[in-house]
Structure 1
Amino acid sequence: MAPVVSKPAEVALHPGYREVVVQFLTELADDELTLGHRDSEWLGLAPDIEGDIAFSSIAQDEVGHAAFCFDRIAELTGQEADVLAFARSAAERRNARLLERENGDWAETIVRHYLYDTFDRLRLQALVESSYRPLAEGAVKMLREEYYHRLHMQTVLARLGRGGEARERVERALYALADEVGSLFAGSLQDARLTDLRILRASGNDIASAWCEQVAAELEDWGLPVPAGLRTVRPAADGRTVHGAALQQLLSEMAEVYHTDPQATW
């Protein structure tokens, strides 16, 4: 992650506004970096060459999105992007707990990515007219890339759901992950200041409602079950603040090179 060399006018934002932007950016960055790392763990291990190539590209995109957000936080706070990405403890991370889970089998990975990509698309769409212009402009670019991420997951999920053992694995994954979905909608999405300050143009409840409607409709189209936890989402109060052992393992592996020389520019 290259150091930030310029600071836009937004660094002079009102402290209350800046606080909300930084909180939201931190969640977005931690989501993308966490999932990007989990995606990278499939490289060379995916069940087919299509999956291997797709996850290689998707992992790079997600980490790139995280880098963009960490750079914006660095501009607003004076912290270093590398420190934000690699040196914070698990207790300081604000990713949705759903994303830190170990990958499990291929079906679970695809289901989780589909659930997240649907959420992320709605979140980014609510940002394209954000009052914080750097984020609005970044959201436009990220949306173009996330479109293909979601399309890939839709295609693979529909194919896996056609029958046999693959379908059974998909169904198990849907029920297993339904309890963790509330973590996506936790944190700053429950802060009314996001919409009051027009940083986000849709409330967390609006995004959750649209997410449930879209996920239920698509799963039904593919003939897959829709667990109750996917029809009605309840934000988990600790969904972005309480993490499991899986996150510590992920951070130890992800930051191993960084910790060999924290003063280096990676």
Structure 2
Amino acid sequence: MQRDEFILCELLYQFADDNFILAYRGSEWLGLAPHIEEDVAFSSINQDMMGHAVMYYSLLEEIGAGNMDDLSHSRKPQNFRNAILLELKNGSGHYLENPDYDWAFTVARNFLFSVFKQVRLEALTQSSYEPLKQTAVKILSEHYYHFMHWETWFMQLMSSTKEARERMEQAVLRCWKEFAGVISIGMYSAEMNKRKLICSEADLRKAWLDKMENVFQKLKFKIEEPPGMESGNGRNGEHTDDLTEALKVLNEVYGGDKEAVSW
């Protein structure tokens, strides 16, 4: 593989893996969402996000990175490039009997990421790689509705009862401690910028922070410290046991019989 293709693959893996693992975390809420309408809506969003992952894995397949199914199901955890925040289990468990499910954390994570995803997609509409530019345009049209969904949940819970506000603030702070890992584009960022595949990490950070500051001002909420990267940088292959466990579940069927087909 030529250097240009390698750098492009490193970037595409980030987009594919982000959507793949967060869609899986979302799917774990099936039957557990706060109400039946949310169960249906959230399931639809997760299906769309898995479709976005497929689009990126397809681009990887087209440039010779490997079979799309193998790319999503056969790589080792250290070869995944998703942000660590997105692989974490669905909650801190501060308020629930089940430590793996916390709706406040799920809303905060999805909203903060949806804001960033919009920023990133808008940047990708200017990418020098035409297939990536076209893919970003397609995904943007769907993502608009995802963004509105999570914005509604976020604003309502942050403006609700004292308890809801406290839970949401704690969830936002937890996400904030890892969000620099979402903004990061990894160790090859300079080469990605040089090839004009995506704008600089600094530009992504500023655009996201500006949008978040606008939201926080409306809610009279403020975070003094910059977003952190407490658990490492997933863009460079650093991950938690949460990803290992998630991939084990995701790969059970595919790893058990790669020749299996549906009828």
The two structures share one fold, judged by TM-score above 0.5: yes
Q: Is the 8 A contact 1:25 1:70 kept in 2?
A: yes
Closer, same or farther in 2 for the Cα pair 1:194/1:265, shift >3 Å?
A: farther
Amino acid at match of 1:120: K
Matched, 1:79 2:66: yes
1:161-176 mapped onto 2 (5 Å cutoff): 161-162=158-159, 163-176=161-174
Matched, 1:194 2:192: yes
Closer, same or farther in 2 for the Cα pair 1:177/1:237, shift >3 Å?
A: closer
**Residues 212-243 of structure 1, C-alpha deviation per residue, up to 9 Å, x if partnerless?**
1111220221233435234xx67986343211
1:202-241 mapped onto 2 (5 Å cutoff): 202-230=199-227, 238-240=233-235, 241=237
- Cα separation, 1, equivalents of 2:68 and 2:21: 15
Amino acid at match of 2:208: W
- Cα separation, 1, equivalents of 2:223 and 2:152: 18
- Cα separation, 2, equivalents of 1:171 and 1:78: 41
**Residues 50-88 of structure 1, C-alpha deviation per residue, up to 9 Å, x if partnerless?**
321221111011110111111111111251100000111
**Residues 83-136 of structure 1, C-alpha deviation per residue, up to 9 Å, x if partnerless?**
000111111111000000100100110100111111111111111122211111
- Cα separation, 2, equivalents of 1:229 and 1:112: 16
SS in 1 for 2:196: coil
Q: Is the 8 A contact 1:185 1:235 kept in 2?
A: no
Matched, 1:263 2:259: yes
Amino acid at match of 2:32: L
Amino acid at match of 2:233: D
- Cα separation, 1, equivalents of 2:44 and 2:205: 28
Aligned length: 250
List alignment gaps of at least 5 residues for structure 2: 92-101
Structure-2 residue corresponding to 1:7: none
- Identify which of 175, 178, 182 aligns with 2:176: 178
Structure 1 residue 196 displacement after superposition: 1.8
SS in 1 for 2:63: helix
Structure-2 residue corresponding to 1:115: 112
Structure-2 residue corresponding to 1:65: 52
List alignment gaps of at least 5 residues for structure 1: 1-13
Structure 1 residue 149 displacement after superposition: 1.0
Structure-2 residue corresponding to 1:145: 142
Q: State TM-score, norm by structure 1.
A: 0.88
Q: Is the 8 A contact 2:158 2:219 kept in 1?
A: yes
- Cα separation, 2, equivalents of 1:189 and 1:167: 37
Q: Is the 8 A contact 2:158 2:164 kept in 1?
A: yes
Structure 1 residue 249 displacement after superposition: 1.2
Structure 1 residue 180 displacement after superposition: 0.6
Amino acid at match of 1:48: H
Amino acid at match of 1:238: N
Matched, 1:246 2:242: yes
- Cα separation, 2, equivalents of 1:196 and 1:30: 23
Closer, same or farther in 2 for the Cα pair 1:239/1:85, shift >3 Å?
A: closer
Closer, same or farther in 2 for the Cα pair 1:73/1:150, shift >3 Å?
A: same
SS in 1 for 2:140: helix
Q: State TM-score, norm by structure 2.
A: 0.89
- Cα separation, 1, equivalents of 2:83 and 2:16: 11
Closer, same or farther in 2 for the Cα pair 1:265/1:122, shift >3 Å?
A: farther
- Cα separation, 1, equivalents of 2:46 and 2:112: 16
SS in 2 for 1:262: coil
Structure-2 residue corresponding to 1:4: none
SS in 2 for 1:126: helix
